[in-house]
């Protein structure tokens, strides 16, 4: 669901005014913090936590709820739903999926928001207040009392660079379809024979397409809702579309969802190549080319092998960046 930031902010100001008039009901559950706490292995003062709670009530509880359970009045029926902080689970941190995020992750997510969701950028709130809120959120789940954040996944230097962009996209296309199994959840963007060829080359095995392979496949999650893995040629990317953002997402996976972490499981060159490939698909978003590609792929899959549609030129289906430099998908 789209949420215009102005609408969100004015809604929240109303909530704040109500709070000012009804301080007792807005003071939140529990008493003020009187002692420091160790959260994620770090000592946090009572003063920080009290300030954090105040700012949380002002800016965040409308969706995330007074108790942090994701059931705030403005969060009702939002899809994706606001995070329930009692779970202590997070999606977009630069740590292996499932581990607790570092403060840098929480700060980035809160400050810049999650594009295409109700979680708008909170960049007008002073950084200091955001940092206090981040500490306060940790008091809402017991996970922070007995676990520490994961080791940060730092991007390795980009081994491709602009000069080898087309090569990276071609390699990424093969890894995406033939090795990393991205297309088990996300759409395939190449005809069946190219997917199979990539799989034979990189994994030494046949890879038949799943039914409805040119659309995402709905997946279970830990967040009480099923999630549709995005089609990069038409859906929003939430946590950043730049190459280093895509590297981070692919290397770290997405916590609490089916999407696994790839750091360590694939060579760095291949993780970066997939970032380039996904980036090339994102660049097609909103163009008539994107829809034409999808329709051609669906037609090629539906048609019996050997017909004209089935042998659709793979080159036409590879993003422009890969074909302009004279490289092909095969």
Residue from 74, 168, 173, 329 touching ligand HEC (CB under 6 A): that is: 74
Stretch that binds ligand HEC, among 43-51, 163-171, 204-212, 249-257 (CB under 6 A): 249-257
Binding mask 148-187 vs ligand HEC (x if CB under 6 A, - otherwise)? ----------------------------x---xxx-xxx-
Residue 65 token pair: 């709820």
| 69: helix, strand or coil | coil
Least distance from C-beta 36 to ligand HEC, angstroms?
21
Least distance from C-beta 310 to ligand HEC, angstroms?
26
Question: Could you say whether residue 49 binds ligand HEC (CB under 6 A)?
Answer: no
Question: Could you say whether residue 140 binds ligand HEC (CB under 6 A)?
Answer: no
Say if residues 166 and 324 touch (Cβ distance below 8 Å).
Answer: yes
Residue from 59, 165, 171, 301 touching ligand HEC (CB under 6 A): that is: 59
Question: Could you say whether residue 248 binds ligand HEC (CB under 6 A)?
Answer: no
Residue 309 is classified by DSSP as: G
For residue 73, which phi and psi values (nearest 5 degrees)? Answer: -60, -35
Q: 149 has which bridge partners?
A: 100
Q: Strands, DSSP E only, in 122-186?
A: none
Query: 71: which residues sit within 8 A by CB, 6+ positions away?
Result: 65, 84
DSSP letters spanning 177-216: HHTS-GGGTSPP-S-HHHHHHHHHHHHSS--PPPTTTTS-
Which parts of this chain interact with ligand HEC (CB under 6 A)? 3, 8, 12, 59-60, 62-64, 74-75, 78, 80, 82-83, 90-93, 106, 109-110, 114, 117-119, 122, 125, 133, 176, 180-182, 184-186, 219, 227, 229-230, 237-239, 246, 249-250, 254, 257-259, 262, 274, 278
């Amino acid at each position: 669901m789209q949420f215009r930031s102005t609408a969100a902010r004015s809604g929240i100001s109303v909530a704040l005014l109500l709070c000012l008039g009804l301080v007792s009901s807005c003071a939140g559950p529990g008493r003020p913090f009187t002692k420091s706490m160790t959260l994620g292995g770090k000592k946090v003062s009572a003063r920080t936590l009290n300030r954090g709670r105040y700012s949380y009530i002002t800016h965040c509880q409308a969706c995330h709820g007074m108790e942090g359970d994701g059931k705030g009045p403005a969060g009702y029926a939002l899809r994706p739903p606001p995070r329930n902080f009692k779970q202590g689970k997070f999606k977009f941190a630069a740590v292996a999926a499932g581990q607790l995020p570092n403060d840098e992750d929480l700060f980035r997510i809160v400050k810049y928001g999650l594009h295409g969701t109700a979680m708008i950028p909170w960049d007008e709130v002073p950084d200091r207040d955001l940092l206090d809120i981040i500490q306060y959120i940790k008091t809402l789940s017991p996970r922070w009392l007995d676990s520490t954040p994961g080791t940060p996944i730092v991007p390795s230097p980009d081994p491709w660079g602009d000069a080898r962009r087309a090569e990276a996209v071609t390699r990424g296309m093969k890894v995406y379809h033939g090795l990393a199994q991205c297309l088990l959840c996300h759409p395939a963007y190449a005809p069946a024979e190219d997917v199979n060829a990539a799989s034979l080359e990189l994994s030494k095995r046949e890879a038949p397409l799943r039914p409805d392979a040119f659309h995402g496949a709905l997946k279970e999650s830990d967040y009480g809702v099923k999630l549709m893995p995005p089609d990069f040629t038409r859906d929003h990317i939430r946590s950043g579309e730049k190459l280093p953002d895509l590297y981070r997402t692919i290397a770290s996976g997405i916590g609490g969802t089916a999407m696994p972490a790839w750091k360590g499981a694939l060579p760095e060159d291949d993780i970066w190549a997939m970032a380039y490939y996904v980036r090339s698909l994102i660049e097609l978003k909103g163009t008539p080319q994107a829809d034409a590609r999808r329709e051609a792929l669906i037609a090629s899959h539906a048609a019996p092998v050997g017909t004209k549609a089935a042998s659709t030129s793979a080159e036409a289906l590879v993003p422009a960046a890969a074909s302009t430099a004279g490289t092909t998908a095969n």
